[in-house]
Amino acid sequence: MRQFSYPNSQFTTILGGASIGWKLNVYDTGTTDLASIYSNLAQTTPTANPVIADADGFLASFYWTGTVDVVLTDENDNLIDSANGIQDLVSTINAVVVAGNISLPYGAASGDGNTITATLPVTSDFSDGGVFIIRANANNAGTINTPNLQINSYASRRIKKIGGVALIANDIVSGMNMVLVYHEAQDCYYLINHEATFLKRDGTAKMLGAIDMDSHKITNLTAGTANGDAVNYLQLGGDAAREFLAATATTGNAVVNKTQFDAKTGQATETVAGIAEICTNAELLAGASDAVVATPLKLRLGFAVSIGTRGYVAFPTWLGGVVIQWGKETTVTASTVINLPYAGMANCYAVVATADQAAAGADVEYVGVSVVSATNFTANTCVFPTAGGAVVGGGLPFWWIAIGK
């Protein structure tokens, strides 16, 4: 059945006027018998035959089944046109469908999910691009070099994804209809509808690995209501322009917000707690302003002390940088050279020598110069001059003290 459609839906006269009253006579094919025609698609309401054009030259729609012949005349029954063997639309479509009806070979699988056999209604092995369907009876395990499929008595071949990628576990699941295509170059069957690597919209398939979304993001995420639900950033107190916010921490294992964190991780001052660098010995001696003393031991190392027959005390710069040195010389003569134990002095204020009374047996004093000049003082030696100080009891031992910085 079909709705009638003549080449021209509206007819006009030779002068261009409307074809008022023209008649379309519909006959059973090959006869002069008027066919049964209807005004509705279900063909339950008969309509007049012939069909008369209205005041605008239009023919009313009508339906029929099978084939008909039509003859178009004017209002005076003069022949205008005719056509034979016009078939209704449904019959035409059915004929096309029947002519193109091709079914794919189908069979049920046997064996396990890794070694599969099936019998198909084919009489020769598949050529490149051959398509068929097999109903799976078991899940595949994802074992290396599996699964393998043998059709009828033809060669056993691997089942792969398009491109030759191996299947992973549960790409084949029991009961699924596997749509397979033979790929001649790789001599394998491509599984078109593998399950495990499909992301289903209904959420029934679980993810077996991470999703690489590149620079894309998830949008329209509904607020979570249970512990296992994902949350959107607004639930965490954030917005698109800043980091997530956290409540003020109240216990040792609670998260802290950024303000609390910054307050404890900034540089410490005399009034604000924070992070401070522990000074090295060199920084302590130099009085570095950006480091702090960590322990009393470090403070005791703030000045160097050497004791014994010869020694020194060296105070750090923040304590004045003064160096006091001492020593005992076994003999003293004119121009005796004193080797200072601390070699870091750049200037010497005074050197005083006193006889070793126990060795001398008398209160004998050697007086050196009160200020040693550059000519007789270097960074690590002091020379008693031949003049400027009394040298008494030559050859006897003496003690000396030098002060400088």
**Model pTM score:** 0.35
With a cut of 50, say whether residue 4 has pLDDT above it. yes
User: Tell me, what's the pLDDT at 157?
Assistant: 97
Mean pLDDT of 177-190: 94
Q: Which pair of tokens denotes residue 48?
A: 């007049």
Name the pLDDT band for 310 (thresholds 50, 70, 90).
confident
Question: Which of the residue ranges 97-111, 209-223, 380-394 has the most confident prediction, judged by mean pLDDT?
Answer: 209-223
> Which backbone phi and psi does 111 adopt, to 5 degrees?
85, -165
CA distances for 208 relative to 163, 197, 204, angstroms:
21, 8, 13
User: Tell me, what's the pLDDT at 222?
Assistant: 83
Mean pLDDT of 261-281: 76
Mean pLDDT of 175-196: 91
Mean pLDDT, the chain, rounded, equals: 77
23-33 per-position pLDDT tens digit: 999 999 999 99
Q: Which pair of tokens denotes residue 248?
A: 């003020």
Query: Radius of gyration of the chain from Cα atoms?
Result: 56
Q: Which sign, positive or negative, has the C-alpha torsion 386, 392, 397, 398?
A: negative
User: Tell me, what's the pLDDT at 375?
Assistant: 41
User: Tell me, what's the pLDDT at 179?
Assistant: 92
Give the Cα separation of 372 and 171 in Å (integer): 96
Quick one: DSSP state of residue 107?
E
- Residues of the chain with pLDDT > 70, as a percent, come to 69
**Residue-range domains of the chain with CATH:** 2-98 (2.170.14.10), 106-191 (no CATH), 216-273 (no CATH), 307-404 (2.60.40.3940)
- Residues of the chain with pLDDT > 90, as a percent, come to 27
Contacts by 5-8, CB closer than 8 A, 24 or more apart: 6/59, 6/70, 6/72
User: Tell me, what's the pLDDT at 257?
Assistant: 73
